[in-house]
Structure 1
């Protein structure tokens, strides 16, 4: 798979898993994390290898106003660097959004990189991030799911 095709591949995998950005349920957060776990090790032909920081995963959570209004979000990002061009970086992001509330305001924000961990260990530790633990707890239906592929 090419970097430019990663969004379509992930979207297809999510569709097959029953996740739709038009009708989101609380269970979709867990299904999306599980699907991203399956997607994360798929090889890319034009990305530098992980040991050269060419293919990595990032988990984040927090309350921000990036989209014009304050929201709580959780996201998983797969970051690629093109072979032979360290300045050509791509980020495939998959983010859920919720209206802010007292329960999410106390979570602040945080992130986690694999930092030498195997992908399975990274995804096993995902539930230990406070924001992800809340999101995976089926507490509230997200009001949005956005999948993006951007060159930075």
Structure 2
């Protein structure tokens, strides 16, 4: 991604673009390919306030039974501060 820094509000589209550039679809992502694309996504500079904690990468994992059956979940998140 080159040029002007995108707005955090456009981050879902930026992620989808990176998925497409990797030759994938969001529905076809495996844990390994999602991790790889998320690594690329983490290097995109967004137009956020120049303050501490205004752009963060978060993850969580564990075994949860959201669907009624215990399954492993791995969640990747990019959190932005907006003015």
TM interval, shorter chain, is: 0.7 to 0.9
- Deviating above 3 A after TM superposition, structure 1's stretches of 4 or more consecutive aligned residues are 21-24
SS at 1:11 equivalent: helix
Q: Decide which of 40, 43, 48 is 1:41's aligned counterpart.
A: 43
Aligned length: 77
Q: Return the alpha-carbon distance in structure 1 between the equivalents of residues 71 and 34 of structure 2.
A: 19
* TM-score normalised to structure 1 length: 0.44
Q: List alignment gaps of at least 5 residues for structure 1.
A: 84-152
Paired residues of 2:62 and 2:74 also in contact (CA < 8 A): yes
Correspondence for 1:54: 54
How do 1:62-141 and structure 2 match up within 5 A?
A: 62-66=62-66, 68-69=67-68, 70-83=70-83
Q: Over the residues paired in the alignment, what is the CA RMSD in angstroms?
A: 1.9
Structure 2's unaligned 5+ residue stretches are: 1-5
